[in-house]
Structure 1
Amino acid sequence: MALPRKGSRLITVDDTVYRWSIRPRPTYSQGLVWWSLTFAVEIADSPRQVLSVRTSLPRLDNWLGLRSKPVTPRMVERTIRAALAAGWKPQTPGRTFVFDLQD
């Protein structure tokens, strides 16, 4: 399943263009900080396997007002490199690759 173009951002890592996005609104569990912030990444031109990244951070718009940090392009770049090293194959069709980001 491809990420929607609206609300997503492009990033180039090692001459490959990726699309990444964060869900526009928190889920109920993310709003109450039962679950942490997640974001998704895929190759921009021909998406195959999506990378789902779980962070240890609460969302910035959580309903409890807990402090957090934003997801930055630098964080996304480092995460893409780490996920590739961990076995993510973005050009190969397959199930979503779940990656736990350790902050």
Structure 2
Amino acid sequence: MSIPKKGSRRITVDALSYRWSVSQPALTAALTESNMSFAVEAELGGRTTLRVKTDMAYPDIWLGNRSPAITPSIVERAIRQALSQGWQPCQSGSAVEITICLAQA
């Protein structure tokens, strides 16, 4: 599944452009304690999606739960981590999933 241009952001890491988008939880997931996640693909020829789970809870405006935003520096860190673990964004294949810890970031 390709990340649409609308609603996504562009980032360049080591001369390769990517698109990334924060995943929005379904209402049922938002009511439980689910953590923020986002998806990344190479902008041109992206064939393998990177799914990144974090240790940050989704912000909840009703309960006053505030969480830091997913920033480009977090996305870059996730891309570099996935690449070091063997993610090949321009080759066909199943989505790759990693988890990053942001509590110490």
* Same fold (TM > 0.5): yes
Give the AA of the match of 1:53: V
Structure 1 runs of 4+ with >4 Å offset = none
Distance 1:63 1:84, change over 3 A: farther
Distance 1:9 1:61, change over 3 A: farther
| 1-structure distance, mates of 2:90, 2:70 | 24
Alignment-derived partner of residue 59 in structure 1:
58
TM-score normalized with structure 1 length: 0.89
Report if the CA contact (8 A) 2:60-2:66 is conserved.
Answer: no
Deviation at 1:34, TM superposition (A): 2.3
Question: Sequence identity, in percent?
Answer: 42
Q: Which runs of 5+ in 2 are unaligned?
A: none
Distance 1:35 1:12, change over 3 A: same
Distance 1:47 1:61, change over 3 A: farther
Distance 1:46 1:61, change over 3 A: farther
Report if the CA contact (8 A) 1:32-1:64 is conserved.
Answer: no
- Report how many residues are paired: 102
Q: Which runs of 5+ in 1 are unaligned?
A: none
| 1-structure distance, mates of 2:63, 2:33 | 11
Higher share of residues assigned strand:
2
1:4-27 deviation line (CA, Å, top 9, x unaligned): 11100000000000000013x432
Give the AA of the match of 2:18: Y
TM-score normalized with structure 2 length: 0.87
Distance 1:56 1:88, change over 3 A: same
